[in-house]
Chain A
Amino acid sequence: MFRLEFRLEFRLEVWIGIACFSNVDIQSAASEYSVVGKLSKGKMNLSTLLLIILAGSAVAYFLGYTRSQQIAKPIGGVRNLAALPTYYASMMSLWALIPALIVLFLWSVLDGSIITSLVKSSLPAEAKQLSDENLGLVMSQVYNVSQGIGSLDTLGQEYGPAVSRLNSLSSISAKAMPVLTILVLILGAILGLRAVKPTNNARYAVEKVFNITLFVCSSIAIFTTFGIVFSVLFESLNFFQKVPFFDFLFGTHWSPQIAIRADQAGASGSFGVIPLIVGTLLISFIALLIAVPVGLMSAIYLSEYASARVRGIVKPALEVLAGVPTVVYGFFAALTVAPAIRRYGDQLRDWGAENDIGFLANLAVSSESALAAGLVMGVMIIPFVSSLSDDVINAVPQSLRDGSYGLGATQSETIKKVIFPAALPGVVGGVLLAASRAIGETMIVVMAAGLAANLTVNPLDAVTTVTVQIVTLLVGDQEFDSAKTLAAFALGLFLFVITLALNVIALKVVKKYREQYD
């Protein structure tokens, strides 16, 4: 029981701790350096404070335990209490823990914004007139000065009062926070101690808290989805204010370079997503061309023909392919497969030139061909297709096979004409899931496919994909107001919608056309 309680508390601690970490620095997101500095400072305080709270709730646990034993003595032992001593103890530690954590959390969240608004009031008059953006800049400079980065001279002496106000406020806050938290902790423990009564069933309270914790944990999945949708949607809307939606969706030219100066030539930036879609589909198609036949046939062979021993060896061996990280496939594609394809292509061209075969003589293989990325991606999703098909083939009841054999069909005829049609919805669902996998795959294409957005369906040319562009646009420094960065979020939205749609359709297909045998 104690172990459980401990775990419960620990989980709470961790979550609140994270919430605190993430909020310590909202006010100073402007300068990364100061953020890191402040975070490490804030962490020192917070982690010690969290430790103190944890220790306090542990003390409360033991207090509650001994107290419940005490009150049990005069009434004839623990069995006359409404709940077991451990529940009283847990209740007490929760009484101590939760209010203290709430105070700590609220303080950390509100601390920054309250201090900022207070400091703003002591800014010089002309600074108050500034626009929001410039005000934020000034504020971050004030923060920097109070951190000791940069001096007041460069900022201007008139900011002196603001800086000293900030200093005094943050030192007050830093002192008041632990004092208040610990006070609340003690107060909570005292209140909890009063609730340790023989007639009060502490188990109800503890179970209630436990239940709420479980619910909160499970709702994280919802929050994640909302987080994805809102973060992607919000930035995309910003993007569509700069680039018209239909230009994005139906444009055939993609070159996301934005002119830095207005008079710069050839860098106006065009965001037509069609070449990316074509590239993505081309590579995914090649991948499925490899993965679907190979995966399906291996699944059929393993479930219908292979002996248990062969199955026991081959199945895990194929599953190895699923466990290899995508970055390894990317390396393999870029350094082994792509050069090999290029070499064979060159040989074929030379041979074609010697023998006067026109189309071969003009063969040009790009060193970042879609073929290489597609092939390797196909190998990657073989086990995915094979295990999904394996499941659906095994779900076809034996009676169907027996009936078919009884009519004199061979094994392959049974598979082709009875089992496969019965398993088809599941197989189609599996292929759709594999397609969504291929479309969303990132590392292989980042490493092996090109950056040039060619609108082509020639697998020997270099193409680029949606995921490649997301990565290229977002790796490195970025500002959140340039169309280049925002374009990545629009692509992300596009990718999210496509993969989600594929998954939903796959599930629908499986559900709707599944044969009911029972």
Chain B
Amino acid sequence: MTNQSKTDNKSSLDAVFQDRAILAEKRAAALKKRNRAEKRFQWAGRISIAFGIACVLFLFTDIISKGVGAFTQTYVEMEITFDQERLGLTPQSSEKEIKAASFGSFFKRQLREKYPEITGRKEKRELYALFTSDMPLILRDMVIADPSILGTTQSISMIADDDFDTYYKHSYGRDLAEEDKITRLSEMQEGIVDSLAKSGAVTKKFNTILFSNSDSREPELAGIKGAIVGSILTLLVTLVLSFPIAVATAIYLEEFAPKNKITDFIEVNINNLAAVPSVIFGLLGLAIFINFFGLPRSVPLVGGFVLTLMTLPTIIISSRAAIKAVPPSIREAALGMGASKMQTVLHHVLPLAMPGMLTGTIIGMAQALGETAPLLMIGMVAFIVDTPAGITDPATVLPVQIFLWSDSPERAFVEKTSAAIMVLLTFLICMNSFAVWLRKRLERRW
């Protein structure tokens, strides 16, 4: 009996142990599985982050690799004899006479003389096409600036045409298969470029044209000066309007507004406007400012209005946050000293909230600087060669210039577009880092 029970006991204990062992095994297996799931989950997070960062890096390297070429421009050093007889000019000629002189045929003749072996009509045209079409005008302006060069021979650095430029930068002197060559030059033209390059006449210099010219149909003459000035003017209008209005609104809502339906309605409106697509603001600008008020199209003034309405919610929201961050003790102390509500706000709360407001404003301005869609609606997409002189001159802005150039088929414009993007991104990075710096520097933690 006792034996029996002992063995029974033992076997049941065994069974328990066995069960436990199985359970432990199961648990170990489950734990392994759970830990694997944990690892997988962590890796999913890491991969997501890596993907995001890879996108940033890829975007930037892609733009930079495409655009870096546009910061240099190919020039050709060439001796040009300003023959008085051929031009029909003397050093005493008036400006009007110089302007009337035929520099176009003069320039072509100079080129023909350099290459007497080129005789065919098509070949000749190809020869002329190696240089920018504005070359005669540049020569003319040189003569106007200094008529004494007439009759002398000058070494002139001539701006190469964009096809020449692209070929020289990307294909010349590289051992490329025919189909890998990036060129639109004919074989004869390539021969001329090669021989010019071998003689050392071709140089690459920093592209000042990019920053000193406005838009042009010729890629080698197109620059972003007009767009930058247009952007600055538009942003100025935006800043002058949006900063005071946003600060006033934030002060009103945080400090003065009674709790009633109107205040609630204002708040709802601000929050909704922050999420309205920017293109809708363009429709508003078109219908109200241009169609109803009859303001001119394509001007920074209207662009500034539209961008003001667009950036107001951003600045208001961050200004309100800045005012909220000022502790009530400051207000109570000022009120306790007998200051009026307005004095409290203006002398004590506002200065303390100012860094936060400025940060919000800079971020809003950065947003406005990069905005394109609403400006397309109000006609800032026009092809404008002149640099705008005021807020009522037709102008374009940097992002719109990028949009316009990106549509051009020439390869050189791809390069220019990327360069313009690099300039735009530089501005944006500067503005945002300034905002971050300002916040770190001036913002107080209470």
**A447 to B280, Cβ gap below 8 A?**
no
The answer to whether A440 touches B49 (Cβ under 8 A) is no
The listed residue with most B CB atoms (<10 A of its CB), out of A23, A331, A503, A507, is: A331
Q: CB-CB < 8 A to A207: which residues of B?
A: 340-342
Which residues in chain A, 88-119, are within 8 Å of chain B measured between CB atoms?
none
Contacts of B400 in A (CB 8 A): 327
Residue A298 at the B interface, CB < 8 A?
Answer: yes
Q: Which residues of A contact B414 (CB under 8 A)?
A: 335
With A219-B266, A222-B266, A327-B402 known as contacts, the answer to whether A412 contacts B53 (CB < 8 A) is no
- The reply on A40 being an interface residue by CB < 8 A is yes
Chain B residues with CB under 8 A of A327:
370, 372, 399-400, 402-403, 406
Q: In the complex the two chains form, is B273's CB within 8 Å of A324's CB?
A: no
Q: How far is the CB of A503 from chain B (nearest CB, A)?
A: 5
Interface: B160 (CB within 8 A): no
CB under 8 Å from chain B, chain A span 8-30? 10-11, 14, 18, 21-23, 25-26, 28-29
Interface-forming stretch among A170-178, A247-255, A266-274, A470-478?
A470-478
Chain B residues positioned under 8 Å from A127 (CB to CB): none
**Minimum Cβ distance to chain A for residue B265 (Å):** 7
Q: Beta-carbon contacts of A367-390 to B below 8 Å, as 1s and 0s? A: 000000000000100110010000
Known: A411-B38, A475-B376. A39 touches B340 (CB 8 A): no
- Chain A, range 282-318, C-beta contacts under 8 Å to B: 293-298, 300-302, 305, 314, 317-318
Report whether A302 and B249 are in contact in the complex, using a CB–CB cutoff of 8 Å. no
Interface residues of B in 400-429 (CB under 8 A from A): 400, 402-403, 406, 414, 417-418, 421, 424-425, 428-429
The answer, yes or no, to whether A137 is at the interface (CB within 8 Å) is: no
Do A14 and B370 contact each other (CB < 8 Å), given the known contacts A297-B45, A314-B53, A318-B53?
Answer: no
User: Given A35-B294, A217-B252, A221-B313 in contact, is the A413-B34 Cβ separation under 8 Å?
Assistant: yes
Determine whether A442 belongs to the interface, using a CB cutoff of 8 Å to chain B.
yes
Knowing A298-B49, A326-B372 touch, does A228 contact B276 (C-beta < 8 A)?
yes
Stretch at the interface among B2-10, B295-303, B438-446: B295-303
Identify A321's interface contact among B52, B63, B283, B286, CB under 8 A.
Answer: B52
Given pairs A231-B286, A325-B372, A327-B399, 11 additional interface contacts (CB within 8 A): A11-B245, A18-B241, A214-B252, A221-B269, A224-B284, A225-B272, A323-B366, A328-B402, A331-B421, A412-B42, A467-B373
List 8 tightest A-B contacts by C-beta distance, closest first: A440-B277, A301-B45, A325-B370, A231-B287, A29-B294, A217-B248, A297-B48, A412-B41
20 example contacts (A-B, Cβ-Cβ < 8 A) are as follows A32-B297, A36-B296, A214-B252, A221-B273, A293-B48, A296-B48, A321-B55, A325-B399, A327-B370, A410-B38, A416-B41, A436-B275, A446-B403, A467-B279, A470-B377, A471-B279, A474-B376, A492-B279, A499-B277, A503-B272
Interface residues of A (CB under 8 A from B): 4, 7, 10-11, 14, 18, 21-23, 25-26, 28-29, 32, 35-36, 39-40, 43, 203, 207, 210-211, 213-215, 217-222, 224-225, 227-228, 231-232, 234-235, 293-298, 300-302, 305, 314, 317-318, 320-321, 323-328, 330-332, 334-336, 379, 382-383, 386, 410-413, 415-416, 433, 436-437, 439-443, 446-447, 467, 470-471, 474-475, 480, 488-489, 492, 495-496, 499-500, 503-504, 507
